Structure 1
């Protein structure tokens, strides 16, 4: 059996010297890291706000479900908050300052069945509507936040990789 000729060993090529870490490079690295941390922090806060929309609606609905009262309410106004006026089970007229939850499609002067929390009459919603109606606004807000956050993140990534 014939031996294969040995391949002559070549001396190892010297490694390219690492770029020295000058103070300017260290400052640039620190600045980049802080910018990324700032963007990530803002994105996290905005995402938590979107999630809190759904959680707040669910907790509010849970409070109503545990201590439910119902009434017929008159829609007073449909501006920023949809304001209603109703008479609770004790005969007191209630006009919640925070407005009505889930008011889609209501108009001033309309009468609508509402459910409210007896221990907190300001917590009132349209009967038959629930927290799942908060999913679409929360999800669409999160998608907008993600798109807005992706633009500076993409620009920075592209610039720093050049």
Structure 2
């Protein structure tokens, strides 16, 4: 701070208040930016987790491989229910359905591979975790194609608001 001599006016920083509307828009933009970024990151992490879960399931089945013929009982929106018998004569119908059920229809007979230590874990024979890459990759790509431009637009809007703010402009100005 510089001292002023008596009688010399002291320069006081002038702080102009921003209109309430501008402060509200800035806050809404920051919240929107954070929300969009959070949703995009969560969807990406869920997609990566899904791919690794499919890989882990395939490895578990391969470690204790059993094969059987199964009948498709129901094809629902979220799962495809099958029924098969293990060599010990026990009938199994995995509660969560069969893995990689694309293209199956009710009544169809299919060949499956299952984990002999956990017959609830079954997949259509010949299908692998690689089938999850296209739908998961497409979902993540489309989500970032939407979120990316929105995030860029909100960030540029926030920067423009910060530059236009009288308080920020005075704070950046050099003091004599």
TM-score interval, normalised by the smaller of the two chains: 0.7 to 0.9
Give the distance between the partners of 2:149 and 2:119, measured in 1 at CA: 44
Indicate conservation of the 8 Å contact 2:92/2:119, yes or no.
Answer: yes
Secondary structure of the residue that 2:68 maps to in structure 1?
A: strand
Q: Spell out, residue by residue over 1:29-84, the C-alpha distance to the aligned partner (whole angstroms, 9 max, x if none).
A: 77765554443322211100111121111000000000111100001011121110
Aligned to 2:45: 48
Please tell me whether residue 72 in structure 1 is matched to residue 76 in structure 2.
no
Superposition map of 1:122-161 within 5 A? 122-161=120-159
Distance across 1 between alignment mates of 2:108 and 2:149 = 44
For the 8 Å contact 1:76–1:85, the answer to whether it is kept is yes
Q: Would the alpha carbon gap of residues 26 and 112 (structure 1) be closer, same or farther in structure 2, given more than 3 Å must change?
A: same
- The 2-side partners of 1:160 and 1:144 are apart by 25
Q: How far apart are 1:120 and its partner, in Å?
A: 1.1
1:9-158 correspondence to structure 2 within 5 Å: 35-80=32-77, 81-158=79-156
Q: Distance in 2 between matches of 1:151 and 1:48?
A: 20
Q: Say what the alpha-carbon RMSD is for the aligned residues.
A: 2.6
Q: TM-score, normalised by structure 1?
A: 0.76
**Contact 1:69/1:89 (8 A) holds in 2:** no
Moved more, 34-43 or 133-142: 34-43
Alignment: residue pair count: 145
Task: For structure 1, list consecutive stretches of 5 or more residues without a partner in the other structure.
Answer: 1-17
